[in-house]
Amino acid sequence: MRMVDIIEKKAGCEPLSSEEIQFFIDGFVSGDIPDYQASALLMAIVLNDMNEREAADLTLHMMHSGDTVDLSDLPGVKVDKHSSGGVGDTTTLVVAPLVAACGGTVAKMSGRGLAFSGGTIDKLESIPGVNISQTIERFKQIVRKTGVCVIGQTGNLVPADKKMYALRDVTGTVQSVPLIAASIMSKKLAAGADAIVLDVKVGSGAFMKTVEDAKRLAELMVKMGKLLKREVVAVVTDMNQPLGLSVGNALEFREAVQLLAGQIPENDPLYEICLLLGTQMLLLSKLAKTDDEARGMLKHAIENGSGLEKLRSMIHELGGDASLVTLKGMDQLCTTRRQIPVPAKNSGYIVDMQAELIGRAAQVLGAGRATKEDVIDPAVGLVMHKRVGDRVEQGDAICTLYVNDESNLADAMETMTEAVRIGEKPKFVTPMVYAVIR
């Protein structure tokens, strides 16, 4: 087989065989196929697409490019969740312990923040002592003991994706539904869960900019799950503004604790999406028969504090200081030298937010990395006071910046002012949930 023939075939819009896809993945990972040939094929896929069978083959061969985790010796249905990335999206820290409190088994590997979007692993590390690099044996032991464990992805999980993602990032080949689906699903399948709930984000703070594309991605991933014998449900949800009000690592952890402590109202978007995801996880785990039953169980685990207790146990098992996982402890972790409000430039209604820019404002304050070597300040970031549709008067605080290092303060202020557009008339507010795909 020759790589150039495979490139020409895809350039001519022909579907690739499973053997051809395997030849590409094996050669790319081993280094036998150079980046320039891989880039040419990736671009041909971006332009000419893949059918479902090709996407499933790509996923499978990527999944088997490295280690896979076997969770079969753990009892019950092992359930995982994944969000396609967003701003102020702290659902994992809420839903994973809540589902465990309802009897579920949640074994999950998470990533770090990427550019403007946050990552669960960075948020976990805002608690002093937490070690997110655990052996698979210890990971399973924690799941067995507490019903929930979230750790960082182990070293050799889907090396094909690591290498391909880095190449896609610099060759304009990120935006392809089958490539994104294979990237996400190969990692989820390799991590070993029986059932997976996917939250596909759509909007200004997401990879998918239109509901149509997001639905296509969601449907493709659900079908792939079926082909590969896992239970997959995907929801398509809004990312046109930060999901929670907080953006930043300890700040988002605090919001998760607030939610688990019953301090956040039910009509709050973060609450709504957490209950939606938790409901799907309980249904797939066969712990509830209907949406209503699952919602009731989740609410009960908020009201009686058992969800918060699970989060505390997990932090303790990961080596963290669990005594900080309280409302008071969280305030302590979110203390910065200065807290600076960003005022509204004029009066009117908030008609639009650029979630990506809000994520970027938090990043320049030190909540995220611009390069891989950057060190995160867990305490910094911002807390929104307004949402799309809200009325504001000139001078009202749109958000509060939590600042330690003031060198990028002006940049953050300007970015926030640009991110939030104020108009004269109120705007129709977009829904939070666009689709649930089973």
Provide the annotated active-site residues: 82, 161, 168, 183, 187
Rank residues 334 and 355 by Cβ distance to ligand URA and give the closer one.
Answer: 355
Q: Which positions ≥6 away from 36 have C-beta within 8 Å?
A: none
For ligand URA, which is the closer residue by CB, 207 or 434? 207
CB under 5 to 8 A by kind: which of ligand URA, Ca ion, none does 184 bind?
A: ligand URA
Minimal distance, residue 403 CB to ligand URA, in Å:
30
Binding region for Ca ion (CB under 5 A) out of 87-95, 190-198, 212-220, 231-239 = 87-95
Query: Among the candidate windows 80-88, 234-242, 250-258, 311-319, which touches Ca ion by CB under 5 A?
Result: 80-88
By beta-carbon proximity to ligand URA, the closer residue of 198 and 250 is: 198
d(Cα 121, Cα 130) in Å, to the nearest integer? 10
**Which residue number, 174 or 409, has a Cβ lying nearer to ligand URA?**
174
Q: Cα(71)–Cα(66) distance, rounded to whole angstroms?
A: 16
User: From the list ligand URA, Ca ion, none, which binds 125 (C-beta under 5 to 8 Å, kind-based)?
Assistant: none
Only one of the segments 24-32, 67-75, 83-91, 256-264 lies at the binding site for Ca ion (rule: CB under 5 A); that segment is 83-91
Contact, 80 vs 106, CB < 8 A? Answer: yes
- Residue 207 binds what, of Ca ion, ligand URA, none (CB under 5 to 8 Å, by partner type)? ligand URA
- For 95, the 3-state DSSP assignment is helix
Q: How far is the CB of 266 from Ca ion (least distance, A)?
A: 22
Distance CA(200)–CA(195), nearest Å, equals 16
The contact set with ligand URA (CB under 6 A) reads: 84-85, 174, 180, 183-184, 207
Report d(CA 331, CA 251) in Å as an integer.
Answer: 9
Beta bridge partners of 401: 340, 382
Angstrom distance (rounded) from CA 154 to CA 406 = 35
Which of ligand URA, Ca ion, none interacts with 241 (beta carbon under 5 to 8 A by kind)?
Answer: none
Partner in contact with 437, chosen from Ca ion, ligand URA, none, beta carbon below 5 to 8 Å by kind? none
- Say what angle helices 18-30 and 3-11 make with each other, to 10 degrees: 130
CB 52 within 8 A of CB 88: no
User: Could you tell me which stretch among 12-20, 85-93, 280-288, 425-433 binds Ca ion (CB under 5 A)?
Assistant: 85-93
Q: Which two tokens stand for residue 289?
A: 């028969």
CB of 207 to ligand URA, least distance (A): 5
Smallest gap from residue 179 Cβ to ligand URA (A): 6
Q: Which of 337, 315, 338, 339 is nearest to 326 (CA)?
A: 315
Q: Which stretch binds Ca ion (CB under 5 A): 78-86, 231-239, 322-330, 359-367?
A: 78-86
Which CB sits closer to Ca ion, 143 or 277? Answer: 277
Contact residue for Ca ion among 65, 83, 258, 285 (CB under 5 A):
83
Question: Rounded CA gap, 214 and 223, in Å?
Answer: 14
Question: Considering CB distances under 5 to 8 angstroms, the limit depending on partner class, which of Ca ion, ligand URA, none binds residue 167?
Answer: none
Residue 184 vs 362, nearer CB to ligand URA: 184
Backbone angles phi, psi at 272, to 5 degrees: -60, -45
Residue nearest to Ca ion (CB): 83
The three-point CA angle 189-376-119 to 5° equals 25
- Give 176 or 285: the residue with its C-beta nearer to ligand URA: 176
Query: Which residue number has the CB closest to ligand URA?
Result: 183
| SS3 sequence of 166-198 | HHHHHHCCCCCHHHHHHHHHHHHHHCCCCEEEE
Output the smallest distance, CB 39 to ligand URA, in A: 15
Phi, psi of 152 (to 5 degrees): -75, 155
83 binds, among Ca ion, ligand URA, none (CB under 5 to 8 A by kind): Ca ion
Report which of 285, 330, 321, 327 is spatially closest to residue 98, judged by C-alpha positions: 285
Query: Which secondary structure element, helix H or strand E, spans residue 40, and what is its range?
Result: helix 35-48
Q: Helical H runs in 177-268?
A: 177-190, 211-227, 249-260
Q: How far is the CB of 183 from ligand URA (least distance, A)?
A: 3
Q: How far is CA 253 from CA 138, 303, 330, 331, in A?
A: 24, 19, 8, 10
Please identify, among the stretches 75-83, 152-160, 310-318, 335-343, the one whose residues bind Ca ion according to the rule CB under 5 A. 75-83
Min dist CB 294 to ligand URA, Å, is: 27
Which among Ca ion, ligand URA, none contacts residue 84 (Cβ within 5 to 8 A by kind)? ligand URA
Structure tokens at 178: 């089958």
The residue (of 215 and 310) whose beta carbon lies closer to ligand URA is 215
Q: How far is the CB of 174 from ligand URA (least distance, A)?
A: 6
- Applying CB under 5 A, the residues found at the interface with Ca ion are 83, 89
